[in-house]
Chain A
């Protein structure tokens, strides 16, 4: 892990601001630490030398002020770090979100939509620790440690030399141990992961185990597996904890070294008590930032990993298929019943993704006023066909209106896809997606009714991904969403994917009747279906892949 990724500074200006402010506060904190050590030493020496009467009060006042200053500086540094974390997360999030919108679905799919969503949400929170606990200490290591060593050197160069010589041992040993640990962990990693996940697996499968009468054997097995996990983990920890050991040992042995060397020189009379005590108090402070960096290394590594993942996402523009542009906004002539008949011409359309044919060459003409059914076996490319017409999927061939010869604009298409893909919010809000402003309540009810979801409460609030509805209900809301748009925007093309797969026959018949009524208003309806009841009701049946 790089201690500080330059890309962080490039992508998030808040990180740059933090480094500047942090450096100032770090210097202030160091100065107050030196002052605390100085006034503590003075107070002790004054009392020990029997000079308590002269100015002890002044010394204690100085001590009080410097203690307060030290706390204040430490607090300010933490506050700055926490604010920086919030701002940096916000900036990185904004960049990823913009990239998602800009680069489109294929790009998101390549990076797994779940991963992108987690990364932008909870994933980036790992940066909190990076900023709160790691970066300030890194700043202090760079600033405070040299300053303190310089102050020590001004009083006693020998102690400063001891510190300068031992300090580099810490990172050297940490790196060495890090390497060995990695090797040990890599060896046991697979086994550890398996042991760790086997409990989750047994828990997830508990009712299956019960159905097969295998559950009681698991109780004992879990105890055994967890104990195996313990043995393996402790073996790894034995090595992992060595780095902490070295860190502590180097720091405390150096203090001992400094203390003994000062003691001997004091006995010889070559050094004064003030200088000796002052240097002794400063010695641990010289090691402290580096120790903290080591302690927080793992917490920080998570944050850095999250940030790096973000940078990789942002830097990956390779093969970004720009979502087909929506084209210039067309003046929408509001569709009216009896509009001149037109047709959507699909001409030798093929979709080929990474060498795999997703849609074999397909041609048909979907007339306005008619229902066109698209049938074919699973995986033949029926849904891909709709995606291609929508411009969501890069394709070869032509999709144009017969009258104008141009591709249908976004606003001319209403669509309900294979999976419902609902959002958090009310049912009404979902149905009126893209409209902006308050949904038209009457139109929402009408659309739900047409889609076979008359009983659904438009005010029902859904969770992320439409959580709260059954699969069948969600499908119907998705259809209602397309119908609402058709009604409000005046699209001339309605694309629906399996509108009735989760419906009983009576409701299905109502939905099909609805589709026919919509077609009659001058809309070209294209419906993908497996159901005979639907294809039988269509004016044209297009078969994709395989024999019909």
Chain B
């Protein structure tokens, strides 16, 4: 059963109660302030001894105070409750994410998707604050006010109740309808205009060079005029709901007068009580005015909830390795950092632990079961029509330095995702002779390390970004590993390990980010390291240097690496080359490997 994240967004009754109680007391104080003032003045006009008025005088002053004081308490209490709940919502979201990420998150623009999810999750706070709170307070206040008026004059109470019901219906239905129309007519136009502006601003050079600036300006102007016309038409409905509510409040007063007047004439209702029941609707309607806003907030919150649910599903989609299914195995929980990795590699991997270059150990070479063995492995991404990888047989021996090439979309990233146990496969995939299907995915990942195409750098210092791979490492070790990935001088220039890397690594270049994540992986000492297109988005020269450095480091360590890249690589740095095409894998003999100036080219010499 799929459970919407929205359900976790509302605090339980006990946690929500303080805010709701304070809010209702504040709203009722406002109603009582008007009621008491009206009573006081009308009663005073009858010129009784002033002592008779003292209660009303005290009431007026007290309600004036409690209205403001309770309102302050309400805002604090409800915000506090909403934030407490936010912790629950975020934790729940993260639990889901951990189960499905990254393969269950769709294949394109994951970064964008996650950024939007964060915004949407935080928007769920509005459920308790801007939806439930005002609706419950309006409802409670209305009921108490109607009951209070009924004690004085049942006829007036009936009028008030009728007007409130109409107001609530109009408030909810009309506000909802208008918002829907608004979204339909405006959102698409707004999007089109925004796109045209982005095209103009970001592609200005191209537009200038192609003499297309005027045309683009025309495009923007047309879309802008279109949006302006639509907005102006839509403006007619702006404020309709508020105006109707204000009219209803007047109508309630208007209707109460003739309904309650006969009781005054017959002496059943005193003058001051009459003034009270006639004027109370004014104050009640001011409280109810929050309903349309709450309805609009509900629309937004619901949309946010739906977006989160569809982006990060509660159930693990078919084709995604479910991390939750095998039980709570946490590599960290077993033993932090390096030791944890070793503990697992001792059971799972062929490589012994102990050094940062596990595969270099002589014992590992002496007994060489393939580090990785794939037999008839196929894999299909969730929601995809066909398999991205089919019938792959592959053996990676300890100490292999393998390059995987192939056109984009051929299945290279799928292969990496299968190796790291992100995407589920059919067929058999063994690590160190043990079938991975019988192991927790986290344990496999302790042996087979993956550096993703766009590895994430945390918005912390360089030190923190490295330490998270192995939190027991000393500064010397960290500097040493930075040296090995060619960042030693750069780090020193940046001010050493305390240099910030910026939000999403904004302060480092793409090549440096890849090198930092390589350093991280070296520090962790994965027995087998898989690099998924470390060169994507790098200029050709930087890309070439990076891959050469990765392979050289691996060669010096005798490490086992699988590099996915289309960069030309010198033959002496790799031991194996395979090519993935249309989901199938084939070996390329070492002899046909090319370096940069090989191969006959059909030049047309002018």
Contact = CB atoms under 8 A, between A and B. Distances in A.
Given A82-B239, A233-B83, A519-B606, 15 more contacts: A93-B220, A114-B202, A122-B190, A211-B451, A242-B72, A256-B33, A256-B60, A259-B40, A262-B41, A263-B53, A369-B606, A410-B208, A417-B206, A505-B594, A505-B601
Interface stretch (A42-50, A181-189, A336-344): A42-50
B476 interface: no
Contacts of B91: 219-220, 222-223, 226
A125 B231 CA distance: 12
Task: Give the one of A44, A81, A108, A470 with max B CB within 10 A.
Answer: A44
B445 A211 contact: yes
B473 interface: no
Contacts of A536: 597, 601, 603
B188 interface: no
Contacts of A85: 231
Contacts of A215: 98, 323
B456 A205 contact: yes
A276 B332 CA distance: 75
A172 interface: no
A533 B75 CA distance: 69
Contact of B242 (A78, A214, A411, A463): A78
Contacts, number: 456
Contact of A71 (B45, B117, B244): B244
Nearest to B449: A211
A441 interface: no
23 contacts: A47-B261, A93-B197, A101-B200, A203-B93, A203-B94, A210-B101, A214-B332, A245-B68, A264-B50, A267-B53, A273-B42, A410-B208, A410-B211, A421-B206, A424-B196, A433-B210, A434-B212, A434-B215, A501-B540, A516-B603, A516-B604, A517-B604, A537-B603
B38 A70 contact: no
B56 A132 contact: no
Interface in A52-85: 52, 56, 60, 63-64, 66-68, 70-72, 74-75, 77-79, 81-83, 85
B57 A83 contact: no
A531 B598 CA distance: 12
B264 A48 contact: yes
Contact of B200 (A97, A199, A471, A505): A97
Contacts of B271: 47-48
Contacts of A71: 243-244, 246-247, 250
Nearest to A500: B540
Counting contact residues on chain B (CB < 8 A from A), the size range is 35 or more
B201 A113 contact: yes
B179 interface: no
Interface string A498-522: 1001001100010011001101100
A434 B214 CA distance: 9
A343 to B, nearest CB: 15
Interface in B274-302: 274-275, 278-279, 282
B44 A267 contact: yes
Contacts of B272: 48
B539 interface: yes
B90 A226 contact: yes
Contact of B231 (A86, A203, A539): A86
B53 A117 contact: no
B265 A234 contact: no
Contact of B98 (A200, A210, A421): A210
A465 interface: yes
B97 A203 contact: yes
- 5 smallest CB-CB distances across A and B, nearest first, come from A78-B239, A67-B250, A213-B331, A230-B83, A205-B456
Given A252-B68, A413-B209, A532-B597, A516 B606 contact: yes
Interface string B95-112: 101100110000000110
B44 A262 contact: yes
Point out which of B102, B198, B213 has the most chain A C-beta atoms below 10 A from its C-beta: B198
Nearest to B93: A203
In the complex, which of the residues B57, B190, B206, B594 has the most CB atoms of chain A within 10 Å of its own CB atom? B206
A532 B274 contact: no
A86 B212 contact: no
Contacts of B495: none
A204 interface: yes
B571 interface: no
A72 B243 CA distance: 7
A47 B274 contact: yes
B61 A465 contact: no
A56 B332 CA distance: 82
A253 interface: yes
B363 interface: no
A208 B65 CA distance: 54
A530 B274 contact: no
Contacts of A87: 228, 232
A40 interface: yes
A203 B93 CA distance: 9
Contacts of B468: 212, 214
A40 B279 contact: yes
Contacts of A378: 539, 541-542
B44 A266 contact: yes
Contacts of B88: 223
A2 interface: no
A227 B81 CA distance: 11
Interface in A87-125: 87, 89-90, 93-94, 97-98, 100-101, 104-105, 108, 113-114, 116-117, 120-122, 125
A108 B201 contact: yes
Contacts of A81: 238
Contact of A433 (B47, B206, B446, B541): B206
Contacts of A121: 190, 193-194, 197-198
Given A227-B87, A256-B60, A371 B602 contact: no
A226 B250 contact: no
A231 to B, nearest CB: 9
Contacts of B30: 252
B64 interface: yes
A252 B64 contact: yes
Contacts of B206: 417, 421, 433
B435 to A, nearest CB: 20
A48 B323 contact: no
A117 B201 contact: yes
A259 B41 contact: yes
Contact of B469 (A79, A212, A264): A212
B86 interface: yes
User: Could you say which of A74, A266, A531 has the most chain B C-beta atoms within 10 Å of its C-beta?
Assistant: A266
B507 interface: no
A82 B238 contact: yes
A436 B207 CA distance: 12
Contacts of B202: 113-114, 117, 421, 465
B340 interface: yes
